[in-house]
Amino acid sequence: MSKASTLERLDAEFAREVEENQLRLRGSLRTTYDFIVCGSGSSGAVVARRLAENSDVSVLLIEAGGPDSAPEVEMAAAWPLNLGSARDWGFTALPNPHLNGRVIPMSMGKVLGGGSSINVMLWARGHKSDWDYFAAAAGDPAWSYDRVLDIYREIENWQGTPDPARRGRDGLLYITPPTEPNPVATAMLDAATELGIPIFDDVNGSMMEGPGGAGYMNLRINNGRRQSIFRSYTFPLMSQPNITVLPGTLVTRVLIERGAAIGVECLIAGRRHSFKASKEVILSLGAIHTPKVLMQSGVGDAETLASLGIPIVQHLPGVGANFQDHIMVTSCIWEYPEPVAPHDNGGEATIFAKSAPELDSPDIQLLQIQFPVATPELAGRYTIPAGSWGIFPALLRPHSVGRLRLTGTKPEDPILIDSQILSEPGDLTALRRCVDLAREVGNAQGLRRFVKREVMPRALTSAAMDDFIRDGVSTIWHQSCTAKMGQDDMSVVDGRLKVYGVNRLRIADASVMPRVPLANTMAPSVIIGEQASRAIAREHQL
């Protein structure tokens, strides 16, 4: 038997063991666990694993979504098929006057693994300045770049050019540059060189300490298959008796008594259940539902909660405020003379740049996409050939900040996303520069052999270009910052991610980011999970 088929057989045996164990554990649910982790996404999956590594600790991991065994999850190239599926919460933002009144989708993962099971699998660690900003906001050097670098080195299994000062080789997380990059990705780097943009061997190495550059993406893909955070962290421990993973279960409320979280209330197949936590409850429901559940539990702005008839437990006006996201223009497109099939996830090359020379770090990014994608508004205006490729011009440092609004007390009452995207005029200015840069790159000599013609936007008047941007903006799905870590009145958690004024309640997910980092948000969410786990282990002497 070949090595590959032996490994496949062992994997199948282990998967059966996990299934049997979890069926057993779910068949005899306890009323009390030491820790209850709510949400199995990029942060929650990490916390659940780290706690369950200690066999004396019992962990209940609750997830609203279902299994992650669908081929659309597993096969890297199939990621777009998850959008709008049952594995997507299907959030939309409110109609936005700055986007010509458009209602834009705000997909988030509703499945074991959360975003890490439906996302584009890019591993981007964040800029040095982001982590130093987090440390300053928290007043805690544990969040500084140097300290976070230690965690990254510990958890990564980096397959690219060795960089022992920054990249680890022995960790849980398989991370690789594209093994056979699409020639159109290589050509984008040639075009960048032509424009004087420096090329880096690793976009997560020294490049993330300086003013920008270009390179191949880091991918969470092995042999064409997605490596979700849940599969890397939680799944390998699921044959143990001390971790119960409960999918299909909606957390509706944190139960709080005398200023401390004592458990959670949830719905299983429409029926109400509650579970107690003898040590802590950790909310990892993502940046939309963590604030929702907090508010429905009485933790939020007192006046807002009173207007909805929710008894106030803790006045924290920052819950649901400070909504941030990355946006991109979907998209600049060129027709291939001869179409080239996408490789990996269809997006392997990137450029980070500054929209203005005086900035101290990059604030715009170009993401290549090896097949055509357009918003319905732009698709209605241009004829886009199937054999095309594109560049997403993206804004990394948005100044527009939105807010979430609760509409009622019931679990089915939606939370409204008032994104405020492009409400700050400076964001439009930066995006204009970003579209210009995308066109300079796409029309450069280095990419000429992949260009029959520029499909869109082509040269436009400035008013028409603004209209193109407003009609083309979509989210990069980096919703964050809605229960921020910090020390001011709008902060919701402290540097150890404990909710102010509520004992035994912690938040570990993208909501705690004080600002959205210069990166796709999965890797920073993993760091948040690691930081929460380390703080818990210290405080509970685990």
Ligand X SMILES: Cc1cc2nc3c(=O)[nH]c(=O)nc-3n(C[C@H](O)[C@H](O)[C@H](O)COP(=O)(O)OP(=O)(O)OC[C@H]3O[C@@H](n4cnc5c(N)ncnc54)[C@H](O)[C@@H]3O)c2cc1C
Binding site for ligand X (CB under 6 A): 38-44, 62-65, 83, 107-110, 114-116, 118-122, 124, 250-251, 284-287, 289, 293, 477-478, 509-510, 520-523, 525
Given 326, 343, 478, 540, the catalytic residue:
478
Angle between helices 128-138 and 145-155 (to 10 degrees): 120
Compute CA distances 538 → 234, 509, 532, whole Å.
Answer: 21, 19, 10
Question: At 501, is the secondary structure helix, strand, or coil?
Answer: coil
Shortest gap between Cβ of 496 and ligand X (angstroms)? Answer: 17
Choice between 285 and 316, CB closer to ligand X: 285
Choice between 160 and 457, CB closer to ligand X: 160
Structure tokens at 390: 């594109």
Shortest gap between Cβ of 106 and ligand X (angstroms)? Answer: 8
Residue with tokens 């732009």: 378
Shortest gap between Cβ of 157 and ligand X (angstroms)? Answer: 17
Residue 478 annotated among the catalytic residues of the structure: yes
Choice between 63 and 471, CB closer to ligand X: 63
Shortest gap between Cβ of 526 and ligand X (angstroms)? Answer: 8
Shortest gap between Cβ of 299 and ligand X (angstroms)? Answer: 15
Give 394-422 as a 3 state SS string: EECCCCCCEEEEECCCCCCCCEEEECCCC
Of residues 472, 479, 477, the one with CA closest to residue 393: 472
Residues in the chain: 542
Shortest gap between Cβ of 482 and ligand X (angstroms)? Answer: 10
**What is the identity of the amino acid at 8?**
E
Shortest gap between Cβ of 478 and ligand X (angstroms)? Answer: 5
Choice between 181 and 457, CB closer to ligand X: 181
Structure tokens at 383: 């004829």
Distance of CA 219 to the CA centre of its chain: 14
DSSP assignment letter at 164 = T
- Asked if the peptide bond before residue 457 counts as cis, ω within 30 degrees of 0, the response is yes
**What is the identity of the amino acid at 365?**
Q
Choice between 107 and 491, CB closer to ligand X: 107
d(CA 304, CA 129): 34
> Which class for 97: exposed (0-12), middle (13-18), buried (19 or more C-beta within 10 A)?
exposed
d(CA 87, CA 72): 10
Rg of the chain, C-alpha, whole Å = 23
Choice between 39 and 402, CB closer to ligand X: 39
Question: At 272, is the secondary structure helix, strand, or coil?
Answer: strand
Compute CA distances 230 → 47, 298, 397, whole Å.
Answer: 10, 30, 28
**Residue number, nearest CB to ligand X:** 41
Choice between 120 and 421, CB closer to ligand X: 120
Positions marked active-site: 478
